[in-house]
């Protein structure tokens, strides 16, 4: 996530890893006195992974293809 110029597989792997870690922390900190169906957790996990990977891949693509941003801004944002 903080690597300079990561490849697409690296970018997507670390986003998936980060969201998996977040899901485990959230599951461990859940209110265990009120059970939730497993489908709730699976749906939230799938949505979080999809959103994180889509946003990071999309922003990386558009920043690399952007010609209107000055080179220093591209470097900082990237």
pLDDT one-digit tens code per residue, 7-62: 889 999 999 999 999 999 999 999 999 999 999 999 999 999 999 999 999 988 88
Q: How far is CA 18 from the centre of its chain?
A: 7
Between CA 75 and CA 9 the distance in angstroms is 21
| pTM reported for the whole predicted model | 0.78
Residues 6 or more apart in contact with residue 1 via CB below 8 angstroms: 11, 14, 15, 18, 56
């Amino acid at each position: 996530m903080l690597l300079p110029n990561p490849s697409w597989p690296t970018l997507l792997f670390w986003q998936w890893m980060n969201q998996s870690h977040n899901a485990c922390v959230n599951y461990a900190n859940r209110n265990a006195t009120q059970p939730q169906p497993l489908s709730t957790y699976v749906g939230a996990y799938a949505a979080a992974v999809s959103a994180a990977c889509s946003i990071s891949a999309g922003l990386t693509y558009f920043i690399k293809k952007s010609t209107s941003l000055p080179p220093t801004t591209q470097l900082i944002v990237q």
